[in-house]
Structure formats: structure tokens, C-alpha cells
Amino acid sequence: MNVGLIGFSQSGKSTLYRAAARSQAKGDVTAVPVPDPRFDAIVAQVKPKKITPATVILHDSIEAAQGGAPRLLSQRFLDSAKKMDVLLHVVRAFDSVSAPYHDTIDPVRDAEAIEVELVLTDLQIVENRLERLAKAPNAKVPGHQDYLDKHAFEKIIGPLSEGEPLRALELEEHERLIVKNYQFLTGKPMVVAFNVGEGDAANPSSEVVRKMGALRAIGTPAFAICAPFEEELSQLDPADQPEFLASMGLTETAGAKTIRAVYDSLGLITFYTAGENETRAWPLRRGSSALKAADTIHSDIARGFIRAEVVHWPDYEASGSLDAAYHAGKMHLEGKDHVIEDGDLIHIRNKT
């Protein structure tokens, strides 16, 4: 999962990048393990030779948006953003004399300014494509890709013209695939982090709270963080972090908030494979089958799928180990269509 940080210059996106990377930042691209107490507990019990947590790859390589230009987003910005799976939009909500874009703090204005640019970029692609499709003979042939594109684009051009991002629309599955294939920027999941001052970390302004609510209403995860505080926190020993967090009235780090928000935006859950050689956490789209989980592990395992041995996380936690859960009758044998739940521990019986 590639997560690209975007925002205006001096919004604090690089500070949040370093904080979320938890002192592991190397250059402007870093693979960050997903914070997961369940996985930690499994590892502590199994004591495997190798552990592989789920990870996200943070990118701070996308050029910052610059206020005052004819277009806020450069072509370099757009090309880089299209390569990302998720966009993490960092919005300045703190006072700073060094911020070059605006003299006054206005997080709603700044958040909407970039969103408008993304919408306009997508709208231009749709308009150009519809213009070409109007002359394409295959656009009148049901089932042809040109026909499907034309009908999908005719559906989305209206909302885009009214400033609505594609991720907020109710689309059919084939329409979502078309949007994904064209790498529409507003069709990508987005997470919005409002970078507030230290005094507002636990209680952001009413303006920020209202905007976060509006974003969540259209399915865009949004939260408030204080990036400089979080960067300082990331330098501390993990054992000292809870006390430092509590002093600010907080209960979790920006890294944990960010990763959870990324998971939410992508509709992901986590399942686990636990063995003495390797114990691993696997991201999986919510609602996926046991066969899809097997394919996530390895395509050969999916091809030879017989049954999935499944232990739900609460049963594992209560039993204390996989062996104990098995002996307590908490292991369920499931077929390929069984829907995997968040936290499931899985072993695939297969022919290979």
C-alpha cells in the first residue's frame, strides 16, 4: 500500500511523515509496520524465527502545492499522486509566520483548495475522453469498452462539475474499475490530517471539527494531530510514550491514527498466519473469502485449496495459544466462500 502525503508547503507533511515513520524514515520513502497489539501478542506467544507485520509505504516525495500559482498542483505533483494507492492530505491548522501560502489560518479553505484542483484535473480528463468517444463508432456497441467508458463518464461528469469527488459517489463495480483504470485522483481513497497547534491537539477548533465531520460523512477519514509533538514523541522509548501522550490528553500516536485511517479508507482488515518458522500479518479487503485469503498468501495455495482452519481472534485471546484454541474446539473448518473476519488466524489445508 503506497500512501502519498500531499499538502501545501509548510503544512507540516514532512513532519508528520517522520512522526508516522516512528524514527525509521529513510529518505522520502519508508515502509512502516502497522501498529497491531494483536499481532504483538501472537508473536510473543508463538516466538517464531521470523516475524512479518503488515506494512504501509509512506511517500513524502510528492511536490508540495504552491499557493498563488495559476494552478496549485504541478504536473509533477499529478504524475506522482497517480502512482499512489491512498492520498494523505496534511492541512495546516496551526499558526506559523513561516507558512508562505496564507497569512491567516484557514484549514477549511486550504483543504478545499487542493480538493478543487484534484476535481478539476479529473473533470478535464473526463471531458476530453467524452469528446473523443463522441466520434468513436464502438461507443455505440453495447459491451465494448468504449461503450462502458462513455456511460460511466456520462454518469460522473455531473458530480465532478459540481465539485464532488469521485470517492464520494455510489458507483457500480464495473464503474469503479473504470475509475481505477484511469487513475482519477478523486477516485483514490483520501485521508485528511489537520495539523493543529499543541494546545489544540486534544480539542481542535470547532471549525476543524465541523470539517472533519463533513469529510467523514462522504467516507473520507479525517483526524487532528500535532505533527511536531508527534515527531518528538516518536523519538521516545515506547515505554515512555503513554505518559507523554496522556500529558497532552491523547490516547494514541499519530502513526497509529494514520495507519488505521489508511486501513479504513481502503476497507481493509488483517488476518494472521502463525507458525514457528514465520508469523505474519496480512492485509485483506473486508468481505473477502477464505479463497482470497489463500491467494493473498500464495496463488499456489489458492489453487490447491481444500479447507481453511480458522480461529477467531477473541477465541485465540481467551485460549492463550492456537493449540489451546484447537483443543477447546474453537477451530472452524471453512470452505472457500467463507468470509474472513478481522483478526482471524488462518491455516490453509491445500493439495500442494
Query: Which three-class secondary structure string do you get for 237-273?
Result: CHHHHHHHHHHCCCCCCHHHHHHHHHHHHHCEEEEEE
Task: Give the residue with greater pLDDT, 49 vs 232.
Answer: 49
Mean pLDDT of the region 173-183: 89
CA 100 to chain centre: 29
Task: Give the residue with greater pLDDT, 11 vs 255.
Answer: 11
Position 158 scores a pLDDT of 95
Position 19 scores a pLDDT of 86
| DSSP H or E stretch at residue 224 | strand 222-225
Q: Which residues of 153-184 are buried (b: 16+ CB within 10 A; e: fewer)?
A: beebbebbeeebbbbebebeeebeebbeebbb
Return the C-alpha cell found at 74.
504541478
Q: Do domains 2-265 and 287-350 have the same CATH topology?
A: no
Examine the pLDDT at 103 and tell me if it is beyond 80: no
Which of the four pLDDT bands, split at 50, 70 and 90, describes residue 58?
very high
Examine the pLDDT at 135 and tell me if it is beyond 60: yes
Which of the four pLDDT bands, split at 50, 70 and 90, describes residue 231?
confident
Mean pLDDT of the region 241-264: 82
- In eight-state DSSP terms, residue 5 is E
Contact between 123 and 39 under an 8 Å Cβ cutoff? The reply is: no
Position 69 scores a pLDDT of 54
Examine the pLDDT at 59 and tell me if it is beyond 70: yes
Query: So where are the chain's domains?
Result: 2-265, 287-350
Convert the pLDDT of each residue in 293-329 to its tens digit: 999 999 999 999 999 999 999 999 999 999 999 999 9
Position 6 scores a pLDDT of 95
Return d(Cα 41, Cα 51) in angstroms, integer: 12
Which of the four pLDDT bands, split at 50, 70 and 90, describes residue 214?
very high
Return d(Cα 316, Cα 186) in angstroms, integer: 40
Percent of the chain at pLDDT exceeding 70:
96
Which of the four pLDDT bands, split at 50, 70 and 90, describes residue 147?
very high
CATH code reported for the domain at 287-350:
3.10.20.30
Position 7 scores a pLDDT of 92
Position 343 scores a pLDDT of 96
Position 98 scores a pLDDT of 65
Listed in sequence order, the DSSP H helices in the chain are 13-20, 37-46, 75-81, 107-133, 145-161, 173-181, 206-217, 227-234, 241-247, 254-266, 290-297, 299-303, 313-319, 322-327
Closest CA to 350 of 311, 293, 312: 293
Position 70 scores a pLDDT of 53
Examine the pLDDT at 263 and tell me if it is beyond 60: yes
pTM: 0.87
Q: How many CB atoms neighbour CB 34 within 10 A?
A: 20
Examine the pLDDT at 79 and tell me if it is beyond 80: yes
Among 229-243, 254-268, 292-306, name the most confident range: 292-306
- Which of the residue ranges 82-86, 160-164, 197-201 would you say has the lowest mean pLDDT? 197-201
Examine the pLDDT at 124 and tell me if it is beyond 70: yes
- As a whole number, the mean pLDDT across the chain is 90
Examine the pLDDT at 100 and tell me if it is beyond 80: no
Which residues have C-beta within 8 Å of that of residue 314, sequence separation ≥ 6? 343
**CA dihedral for 203, 209, 212, 218, sign (positive or negative):** positive
Examine the pLDDT at 71 and tell me if it is beyond 70: no
Q: Which CATH architecture has domain 2-265?
A: 3-Layer(aba) Sandwich (3.40)
Position 105 scores a pLDDT of 80
Position 265 scores a pLDDT of 87
